[in-house]
Chains A and B, each alone.
Chain A
Amino acid sequence: MNKIIKSYAPFMQAGIQTLIIYRMNFLGFVIGGLIYCFVMFYLWRAVFDSNGEGIFLGFSMTDMVIYLFLANTTSQLTYSSVSEVIGEEIKDGSISMRLLKPVNTDLSYMFSELGEVTMKLLVLFLPMITGLEIYRFCITGTVMFNAINFLLFLLSVVLAYIISFRVNLCFGFIAFYVKNLWGIGILKNSIIGFLSGSLIPLAFMPDRLRVCLEYMPFASMGYTPVMIYMGKYGANEILFRIGLQVVWALLLYGLSKLIWFGAIKKLCVQGG
């Protein structure tokens, strides 16, 4: 255990340092996300005004606000940029340095990123949760915070991150075959945004589509934890959803390993 920490801690530290150097980019993404949330907030307010019933497909306005901001924060928290990192490393050849190190390649990527995740947790996630709880308290007048739900939510977020990391790892390995990842990257992000429910709650989709989407790994990357936090799932449903997350995490772990063994033979560094 000690050995693992000793080998991987430097990756994490390097991750934090990179983030601090590029803190402005980080800030840009956070603010960009918030702008989107605010546009959506006003749009929903107009919808609820037009609707007049105070309930939209089972969501109240308070639910909607929590969903919007929490889904955005969760998707930022579980966002994995490992595919872009791999793409860059293949382009400039530095991946050969990583392959030479006597560490597990997947884990070294993950720990570089965990540094970033830790920072997001502190500067984005905690303030957001606190703000949302205060908002909820002001609107409803009671403390809605539920410690058990919150712990289950955290567990679900961790699983969501692992799934997101594996999905992006699989994507990143495509760079071994396709030299330019940029277009595919944008495509990937918009597909994940849509299918994971971070743009539109999956609950609003037509029934059959919704059931399909809820079983896909993308829902496990954002939708599941948010619904758990909001208390939309009963005890059995929570168990089932978290179980599904575990299954997806394992399946994607296997898939990424499989692609890796195929891809590593294809590695061709351009003039590195």
Chain B
Amino acid sequence: MRRIWKIYRLLAAQNLKRLMEYRADFLTGAVSFLIDQAIGIAFIFIIFTQVPQLAGFTFEQILFIYGFSQIPKGLDHLLTDNLWCIGYFIVRKGDFDKYLIRPINPLFHVIAETFQVDAVGELVVGIGLLIYAAPNAGLHITIWTVLLSIIAVPFAALIYTSLKIMTSALAFWLKSSGFIIQMVYGMNEFSKYPTTIYSFPIRIFVTYIIPFAFTGYYLSLYILTGNDPLFNIGGVILMSTILFIISVLIWNKGITAYESAGA
């Protein structure tokens, strides 16, 4: 365990050095993710100039749900961004060789290699919205709701990570799976708003199949109402654990199917 931690620190330090070298890149990256967020929030503002409530939630509550959904997304973005490169070009170009010849777990190595600071865009906006919206959102604050919500956040991030591991591992068979990651990841749009606005089949889909609803709505619902911890929080933990196990199985199977590029 200590060895793994040490390796992680070394790799992260390398990343920060790279970051200092390409400061302009980091700035444009972070600014563009911030602008993306600003557009989402502007949208909610415009809606609430015309309606007092959306699907039974007030302005502050909707902001709270939106903000909460960005935190697991940002965490995953911060820590595991390299999986995108696996899907887009690392496998196709045969560069995956390097992960296989080193004496650490390849999946760990891939993830540890990148520390994507662009994610501060999502994290800052998410936390900012929580702080802004919390006083007026009518939260149900007890030790349990706060504690359980905080515990659930890493698990919610794990849902993102698992889906990314799964879809990027498809590249071992298909050579390139960037578009599949893009497609599945893109469904996180569904997590930003109350799941109750969607029609029944979509609700089932984002709850049980690509469970992004757990990364935003159900999490916030628990701290908003204090109801149903078994489903709202237990669901996050159960879903993320199951997905993670499946994703690691697919990944390991994929590595055995990997064949390097010819050159």
Contact = CB atoms under 8 A, between A and B. Distances in A.
Interface stretch (A127-135, A185-193, A251-259): A185-193
A236 interface: no
A31 B190 CA distance: 14
Interface stretch (A43-51, A98-106, A162-170): A43-51
Interface residues of A, number: 36
Contact of B197 (A43, A180, A182, A187): A43
A180 B51 contact: no
Contacts of B14: none
Given A36-B186, A50-B51, A186 B32 contact: yes
Given A46-B197, A57-B50, A190 B35 contact: yes
Contact of A50 (B22, B35, B42, B55): B55
Nearest to A57: B50
B197 to A, nearest CB: 4
A180 B22 contact: yes
A271 interface: no
Interface in B48-65: 50-55
A267 interface: no
B59 to A, nearest CB: 11
Contacts of A36: 186, 189
Interface string B29-51: 10111011001001100110011
Interface string B184-208: 0011011011100111001000000
B19 to A, nearest CB: 12
Given A39-B193, A56-B50, A183 B28 contact: yes
Contact of A25 (B179, B193, B194): B179
A138 interface: no
B12 interface: no
Contacts of A187: 28, 31-32, 35
Contacts of A178: 24
A98 B135 CA distance: 60
Given A47-B54, A50-B55, A187-B31, 20 more contacts: A24-B176, A25-B178, A28-B182, A29-B182, A32-B186, A38-B202, A39-B193, A42-B193, A42-B198, A45-B197, A46-B54, A46-B55, A50-B54, A56-B50, A182-B25, A183-B24, A183-B29, A190-B36, A199-B43, A205-B46
